[in-house]
Structure 1
Amino acid sequence: MTQTETTEPEASSLSKAETAYRWIRKCIADQTFEPGHKLVLAQIALELDTSVVPVREAIRRLEADGLVTFERNVGARVAMVDQSSYVQSMEAVAILEAAATAQALAFLSEDDLAEADAINERMRDLLEDFDPTEFTRLNHEFHAALFRRCPNERLHNLVAVEWDRLAHLRNSTFSFVPERARGSVDEHSRIVALIRAAASAEEIERVVRNHRSTTLASYQEAHARTPDTPVTTGIIDREEDKP
């Protein structure tokens, strides 16, 4: 995620623990590290040219985020996919993203809204030859364009964590509910129109939250018709790899 001006701190200014945290989190988000992947501290430290200590700290943070699990005598691994976690993350994104968008309203420019419109048009173009993964990526870009000016840094970080968790749990919600895509694009247009019409922060927050909640409801209906096969992976780790 980005800060108010969508800039990330330079890598050289980050602590070793923060660098390890971001690197592992990215590997989880892009599924380089899939559910159940064993996180061997020594190997990660070697990859990042650091000691095990900052890697251990990073893994503890990721455990707090819900992206990593740790068991004594088993070790650290990427958290497994489960239905309840996905639903909870979708609910959290609906609340957090809506609040961040509402807080950003006073700082949005016409350029920001034009960018959101352009992204949404790219999403609309995809409806004819649907690519759910690209559609999901653009969906994130659209929402980021509307809330990135939010002055609350903590909200940015919370949305980032939930987005990463969703990417870990499901490559794309729209893979399961492609029929939801057209409605999502239309709702995007309505959100931007409401912002241009100077709708209140309360209304924008409500509309954005309902928009995300509707996608979740569509997914839950699809899941009820065709439940997922649970993911199970056995991982054994060494004693020295415990955080």
Structure 2
Amino acid sequence: MTAVQSKVDFAHEILRTRIVGSQYAAGQRLIIDNLVKDIGVSQAPIREALRRLEAEGLVEYGTNSGPSIVQLDKTHWFNLMEMKAVMEAYATRAAAPLLSGEEISALRETNGKLMGALEEFDFEAWTTLNRQFHEMIHNRCPNVLLIQELQRLSQWTDTVSSLVFARERGIIIQTLGLSAGKETIGFHIRIIDAIENGEADANLEEISREHTLVLVRRVQEKLSTRSAA
């Protein structure tokens, strides 16, 4: 890695962390000279770092205004989650016939650990185990391009969630409370049973899709209740 490339990586990491951490407001202009003084590198690495962030969807360039923080809203997150629901459901359907008995047992074991994390209110463990559960299924999907796109979509969805729910993070965590958490685990059991029993593709796909869409509805309900209060 060259010295210039190292500085680009350094600037990119700082700026990305600040954006995802909501240290910049949506739509805020990024003045390159100010960033040079603040981060301590020259203009070239800053400009390259901003182009990377533009490619990631975090920064946008206006015609005459230069770079600024992208403006996203909750509807964008809801739309991404709907896309994710469809893609995950198809990936699950495609992977189902290829999952071995051992892999199905591993899914049940992971789902059991999820219940433990839920009862201990260990949100970090819950998030990790939930991701592992779905990755165990998706890794058996024969459509490699689909899984690559799904991984990118999942990463972008997580980033958008951090941006648009910056002041309402507690609501998301509440949504993953005991009741909704048990509902998620219940969907996992239905997915595992459908895979193990060789249920019709359409039924398995519907269960998997609904699993994600239920979360979307729960968040919408929480936000609506909060707005009406």
- For normalisation by structure 1, the TM-score amounts to 0.67
Distance 1:138 1:112 in 2: 15
Is 125-134 or 140-149 further displaced after alignment?
125-134
Is 99-108 or 169-178 further displaced after alignment?
169-178
Partner of 2:137: 146
List runs of 5+ in structure 1 lacking aligned partners.
1-11, 228-243
1:75 alignment partner AA: P
RMSD: 3.6
Partner of 1:241: none
Distance 2:97 2:210 in 1: 21
1:184 alignment partner AA: T
The Cα of 1:60 is off from its aligned counterpart by: 4.5
1:176 alignment partner AA: Q
Spell out the pairing of 1:51-70 with structure 2 (5 A cutoff).
58-63=52-57, 67-70=58-61
In structure 2, which of residues 118, 125, 140 is the aligned counterpart of residue 127 of structure 1? Answer: 118
Partner of 1:176: 174
Spell out the pairing of 1:27-106 with structure 2 (5 A cutoff).
33-35=20-22, 58-63=52-57, 67-71=58-62, 72-75=64-67, 77=69, 79-80=70-71, 82-106=73-97
Distance 1:124 1:164 in 2: 24
Quick check: 1:36–1:80 contact (8 Å CA) kept in 2?
A: no
1:128 alignment partner AA: E
Deviation track 1:130-181 (CA, whole Å, cap 9, x = no partner) reads: 1334322321211111112112222112212221123223357750311311
1:142 alignment partner AA: F
Distance 1:31 1:211 in 2: 32
Distance 2:199 2:224 in 1: 36
Q: Matched residue of 2:56: which SS?
A: helix
The Cα of 1:210 is off from its aligned counterpart by: 0.9
Quick check: 2:78–2:216 contact (8 Å CA) kept in 1?
A: yes
Partner of 1:209: 209
- For normalisation by structure 2, the TM-score amounts to 0.70
Runs of 4+ in structure 1 off by over 6 angstroms are 39-44, 50-54
The Cα of 1:31 is off from its aligned counterpart by: 7.5
2:60 alignment partner AA: T
2:149 alignment partner AA: L
Greater relative CO (CA pairs within 8 A, separation 6+):
1
Pair 60,203 (structure 1): closer, same or farther in 2 beyond 3 Å: same
Pair 54,203 (structure 1): closer, same or farther in 2 beyond 3 Å: farther
The Cα of 1:34 is off from its aligned counterpart by: 2.7
| Structure with greater proportional helix content | 2
Quick check: 2:59–2:67 contact (8 Å CA) kept in 1?
A: no
Distance 1:86 1:103 in 2: 26
Distance 1:225 1:39 in 2: 39
Pair 167,147 (structure 1): closer, same or farther in 2 beyond 3 Å: same
> How many pairs are equivalent?
200
Is 199-208 or 168-177 further displaced after alignment?
168-177
Pair 84,39 (structure 1): closer, same or farther in 2 beyond 3 Å: farther
Quick check: 1:94–1:209 contact (8 Å CA) kept in 2?
A: yes
Pair 121,103 (structure 1): closer, same or farther in 2 beyond 3 Å: same
1:223 alignment partner AA: L
Partner of 2:166: none
Q: Matched residue of 1:75: which SS?
A: strand
Deviation track 1:166-219 (CA, whole Å, cap 9, x = no partner) reads: 322335775031131111011101110110001122221111001111111111
Distance 2:216 2:20 in 1: 25
Quick check: 1:98–1:206 contact (8 Å CA) kept in 2?
A: yes
